[in-house]
Amino acid sequence: MSESVDSRELGLRIRRLRTERHLTLKQVEEACGLSATHLSEIERGRTSPTIGALARIARALGRDASYFIEADDLPDVAHLPRQEITGFVTARGVHVEPLTPGVPGNQLFAYRLLFPSADSGPLALGAQPLSGEVLYLVIRGRLESEFGETRLTLGAGDAAQGRLLQPHSLRAVGGEPAEAIAVLTRRIEESD
C-alpha cells in the first residue's frame, strides 16, 4: 500500500495543478465551494483539508483525490517500456509481468500472463474480501478458467470476466504454451 504525503506536499500538489490549469483561487472557490482563504491555507500546508473538502477540490481540478495524497507522484499516463518490465514466476511456473506502473487513484492493474506449457499453472486467486472484477483476454493458446463453479475453455481472442469475490484460476490446456492479458481491480502478488 502506498504511503500518504504530508500536508505541505499535499498543498504543493494542489497549487501546482491549479496553476498548471491557469485557475485562480477564486475560480477554484466557485467550483468547489471552499473559500479562497481556506484554499490558500491548504496550499501553504498550514491546514489539512477534510476528506470531503479534498474530494471537492479534486473534482474542481479534474483529478481523483488520491493524486494529491499518494506518496508516489505518478503521471496521468503510465508507460513501462518492455526492457524495464520485471515480473515474477509463480510456484507453478506461470510468468506474471505488469504492463504499467499504474496511475494514481486508478484501481486497474494490467498484466501479461505467460503459461510456458500445459504443465504450468494453474494461476489461482482466492476469493477477495472486497468487491472487484477481473478480465482475461487470451492472446495465444488455450486456457481453462474456473470462476467458482463455472468452467470455461478460452481460445485466442476469447475473453472472460468475473468477480473477485469468488475464487478463480487459469491453466493452459492442449499441451501448448498460452498467453493472456489480465486486467484486475487488485494487484497480483507473488504469493498468488
- Per-10-residue mean pLDDT of the chain, 192 residues long, equals 74 92 94 94 93 92 81 62 75 84 68 84 80 89 90 95 88 90 78 51
| In the chain, alpha helices (H) | 7-20, 25-32, 36-43, 51-61, 66-69
Q: What is the pLDDT of residue 141?
A: 93
Residue 91: φ, ψ to 5°:
-60, -25
Helix axes 36-43, 7-20, angle to 10 degrees: 120
Say how many residues make up the chain: 192
Rounded Cα–Cα distance for residues 155 and 27 (Å): 53
Q: What is the pLDDT of residue 44?
A: 94
Q: Which of 71, 7, 80, 87 is nearest to 43 (CA)?
A: 7
Q: Characterise 137 by phi-psi region: left (phi > 0), alpha (psi -120 to 50), beta (else).
A: beta
Strand 109-115 with 150-154, pairing: unpaired
Q: What is the pLDDT of residue 1?
A: 39
Q: What is the pLDDT of residue 100?
A: 76
Q: What is the pLDDT of residue 67?
A: 78
Residue 8 C-alpha cell reads as 505541505
Q: What is the pLDDT of residue 88?
A: 78
Q: What is the pLDDT of residue 41?
A: 95
Cβ atoms of 140 and 156 closer than 8 Å: yes
Rounded Cα–Cα distance for residues 68 and 71 (Å): 8
Cβ atoms of 192 and 123 closer than 8 Å: yes
